[in-house]
Structure 1
Amino acid sequence: MISTSAQGPSSKRRAPRQAGQSVGMGPLGRSGVVLLTYVLAALELTCLFMQFSIMPYLSRRLGLDSVAFGYQQTVFGVLQLLGGPVFGRFADQHGARAAFTLSFLASSALYLLLAAACIPALPGVALLFASRLPGALMHTLPAAQMVIADLSTPEERPAALGRLGLCFGVGLIFGSLLGGTLSSSCGIQCPVIVALVVTLLGALLSVTCIPASTKGASVHAQTTLPGKPKASVFDLKAITRLLLQPGVLPVFLVKVICGLPIGLFMVMFSIISMDFFRLEAAQAGYLMSFFGVLQMVIQGLVIGRLSSHFSEGALLRASVLVFSVVGLAMALMANVFHFCLLMPGLVFSLCALNVVTDSMLTKAVSTSDTGTMLGLCASVQPLTRTLGPTLGGLLYRSFGVPVFGHVQFAVNFIVLLVLWKQPVPRKMDRAQ
């Protein structure tokens, strides 16, 4: 089922590269570019979570009710869903420097519009909705994943991608903390202005320090063949063609299907924390910080070590198995203490699923298409955010919190049976 071993001439393009064969690394060198990539990802995620922390309060200040707030959240999710694959293709065609710069400039535009929405003399609601539009091009994390995938060997790729979890944890913890602290002490517009300055700094660092391309020299030559027609960034056929390559679609479906149940739960978590767990805002913030710390430790440290001892197929099956067990336990939990006991297993499953599937999918396509593939992967979470408020709200209203555990158990158990019957072939699993 999940075989990505290509046959024929295209397999030559998928031969593993040695790290360091990328072109034009500049004065920073390979290790410096990788380190800067992690820093840029952490900066962008910190700004993003600063924005998330103040959006409900800014929306309420502008007079929006919960329905209108849901609409603007859905708009943001749809734009990111549509923009992810296109941005990934742009990154493949124009290189890492252009991708990072475009993402940070789009982020700067979003925060500039949000800052303008805080000014009483301006039409705040219109500017708030307009600020969602640049979200289609805000994809710093997929750009960072592309650089890491390009500059790492297949063997070290799971650990290298897993370290981005440290960036996510830093962004979640410091972004939420700074957003609340700055808005309380300096006004609700202060976090937005700080985020605007930081993203402009990120754009400057991208232009001056990130190499124009991190692809291998042979790939660079292939994309610049004389007389070869240059494909459009918006060529949807070229984007969807990746999903039809051998072994890609099954892995992608596992990523989407296994991640959907927990995604629905997380979309509804703010309501569940108030109604079911009976948490105050500060207590919910502490719980999310605990989640961020767990993600930093598990994705940044644990997944990398496990990937050096176990195959990607084994880790994928382990993540689905733990998802099933945690789902069964979620159906029985009665309070927030039970949820805290389940959270390590939940975070492990989520991190392992994302890291392993991203690694497998980037190995399944040619090096020239890693950005597009990661852009498709980045669309999975916006898809959940788009469907989640409606579907999750319907399930929660009709059946309560236990239904999320039942759905998670049922879906992942079925996927586990399929994976056990048709496991990942060792040849693809090790990307030999």
Structure 2
Amino acid sequence: MREVRASRGQGQSPSGIGTLDLSWVMLLMYVLAALELACLFMQFSIMPYLSRRLGLDSVAFGYQQTIFGVLQLLGGPVFGRFADQRGARAAFTLSFLASSALYLLLAAACSPALPGVALLFASRLPGALMHTLPAAQMVITDLSAPEERPAALSRLGLCFGVGVIFGSLLGGTLSSTCGIQCPVIVALVVNLLGAILSFTCIPTSTKGASARAQASLPGKPKASLLDLKAITCLLLQPGVLPVFLVKVICGFPSGLFMVMFSLISMDFFQLEAAQAGYLMSFFGLLQMVFQGLVIGWLSGHFSEGALLRASVLVFSVVGLAMALMANVFHFCLLMPGLVFSLCALNVVTDSMLTKAVSASDTGASQCC
């Protein structure tokens, strides 16, 4: 496919790619995001059971999950700048190769003949470069007009829901019927396929000519991937820092809960792997409904600021109520409010950040 060359507002529209080809590029973004998320949630569904089988307690499990989260946090800005400088094809290929390395190490950790605990912790390291969803958000941002962006990003929530549903179901079902190593091997094969599709089918760059010219102005030095000054300048642009802080402050507890949810299901709710998969599938179904349908409708009737304030308020109320829940039924009652707040927060902040930065920095704004 040829590179994207024309611009449409701040979002970039292809002139070198026909309308039909553009539709295929967008569809491929959704498919790749759904595949990566399905594999990720297959991993989440088996991690506490694998950790318990290797002799790790809840504290050690928390450490290795924290390592994964910290590496994702630190690797996000670097990956975002890599995507902006090297293009969508390189970003997707790198992300899927990193995911493949993670699942390869995880599969080795399942073998009784190898040092499982060391390999389990080593498998967290490639997580620093696993950012397929932000890369998809960058491409959708590049290819959509600003007024269409909230709806386009909300449709990406359908992929998240599909990934949660099928990943959780497959992870619990395959581990129960074929062994705990089976979901990891399936995830490894799927991510290798994703790397091949990324390298062969994704355009080299989805940014328009104006964005590329802006990134390479005459006499302007090319910033490196680890240029902290450039990242700081990006955060200090008007309208970026307040939205970024809201995203981080609200995203930290939700991210911590999602990472530890499998352990909560096993120890607090006393669920088996298949039952935990069913519960996560319910979460994914709600995610599809809210982010794929409800948020898109609300964005057409309310301002982004109003939706952001509503999501923070609902998230705060649900967080307080979760501290009082006693069983899985209480959690199911609270889940619609939790999913609405997460969906609204992610879609609105992503849309506001991409509108506040230049077209050449959409990848960094998604990964920060």
Q: How does the TM-score come out when normalised to structure 2? A: 0.90
SS of residue paired to 1:144: helix
Shift in alpha-carbon separation, 1:317–1:45, aligned structure 2, 3 A: same
Give 1:373's aligned amino acid.
Answer: S
User: Which residue among 150, 153, 158 is the counterpart of 1:158?
Assistant: 150
SS of residue paired to 1:156: helix
Shift in alpha-carbon separation, 1:135–1:229, aligned structure 2, 3 A: same
Deviations 1:41-66 (A, max 9, x none): 00001111111122222223333333
Corresponding residue of 1:243: 235
Shift in alpha-carbon separation, 1:291–1:123, aligned structure 2, 3 A: same
Corresponding residue of 2:3: none
Stretches of structure 1 lacking an aligned partner (at least 5 in a row): 1-13, 377-432
Distance 1:290 1:68 in 2: 28
Deviations 1:373-420 (A, max 9, x none): 1110xxxxxxxxxxxxxxxxxxxxxxxxxxxxxxxxxxxxxxxxxxxx
Task: Note if contact 2:35-2:190 (Cα within 8 Å) is conserved in structure 1.
Answer: yes
User: Which residue among 115, 118, 127 is the counterpart of 1:123?
Assistant: 115
Quick check: 1:35 aligned with 2:33? no
Quick check: 1:194 aligned with 2:186? yes
Query: 328-337 or 249-258: which moved more?
Result: 328-337
**Percent identity among equivalent residues?**
86
Shift in alpha-carbon separation, 1:127–1:29, aligned structure 2, 3 A: same
Quick check: 1:167 aligned with 2:159? yes
Shift in alpha-carbon separation, 1:107–1:265, aligned structure 2, 3 A: closer
Give 2:298's aligned amino acid.
Answer: L
Give 1:202's aligned amino acid.
Answer: G
Corresponding residue of 2:89: 97
Count of aligned pairs between the two proteins? 362
Q: How far 1:316 moved relative to its partner?
A: 1.4
Corresponding residue of 1:350: 342
Corresponding residue of 2:170: 178
Task: Note if contact 1:24-1:212 (Cα within 8 Å) is conserved in structure 2.
Answer: no
Query: 63-72 or 329-338: which moved more?
Result: 329-338
Q: How far 1:203 moved relative to its partner?
A: 0.7
Q: How far 1:26 moved relative to its partner?
A: 7.5
SS of residue paired to 1:201: helix
Q: How far 1:363 moved relative to its partner?
A: 0.4
Give 1:108's aligned amino acid.
Answer: S
Shift in alpha-carbon separation, 1:64–1:24, aligned structure 2, 3 A: farther
SS of residue paired to 1:104: helix
Shift in alpha-carbon separation, 1:281–1:199, aligned structure 2, 3 A: closer
Q: How does the TM-score come out when normalised to structure 1? A: 0.77
Distance 1:57 1:172 in 2: 18
User: Which residue among 140, 148, 152 is the counterpart of 1:148?
Assistant: 140
Task: Note if contact 2:107-2:181 (Cα within 8 Å) is conserved in structure 1.
Answer: yes
After TM superposition, which residue ranges in structure 1, 4 or more long, deviate above 3 angstroms? 22-28, 224-228, 258-285, 324-339
Corresponding residue of 2:216: 224
Query: 208-217 or 59-68: which moved more?
Result: 59-68
Q: How far 1:275 moved relative to its partner?
A: 6.3
Distance 2:338 2:109 in 1: 37
User: Which residue among 176, 192, 196 is the counterpart of 1:204?
Assistant: 196
Quick check: 1:312 aligned with 2:309? no
Shift in alpha-carbon separation, 1:266–1:210, aligned structure 2, 3 A: closer
Q: How far 1:333 moved relative to its partner?
A: 4.8
Distance 2:61 2:293 in 1: 37
Give 2:294's aligned amino acid.
Answer: V
Alignment of 1:9-408 (within 5 A): 16-17=9-10, 20=13, 22=14, 24-25=16-17, 29-266=21-258, 269-270=261-262, 273=265, 282-327=274-319, 329-330=321-322, 333=325, 335-376=327-368
Distance 2:237 2:62 in 1: 37
Q: How far 1:261 moved relative to its partner?
A: 4.5
Task: Note if contact 1:248-1:364 (Cα within 8 Å) is conserved in structure 2.
Answer: yes
Distance 1:146 1:374 in 2: 6
Distance 1:103 1:128 in 2: 19
Stretches of structure 2 lacking an aligned partner (at least 5 in a row): 1-6
Deviations 1:160-187 (A, max 9, x none): 1111111111111111111122222222
Distance 2:49 2:23 in 1: 41
Shift in alpha-carbon separation, 1:190–1:349, aligned structure 2, 3 A: same
Q: How far 1:24 moved relative to its partner?
A: 4.8
Shift in alpha-carbon separation, 1:26–1:213, aligned structure 2, 3 A: farther
Which one has the largest radius of gyration? 1
Q: How far 1:255 moved relative to its partner?
A: 1.8
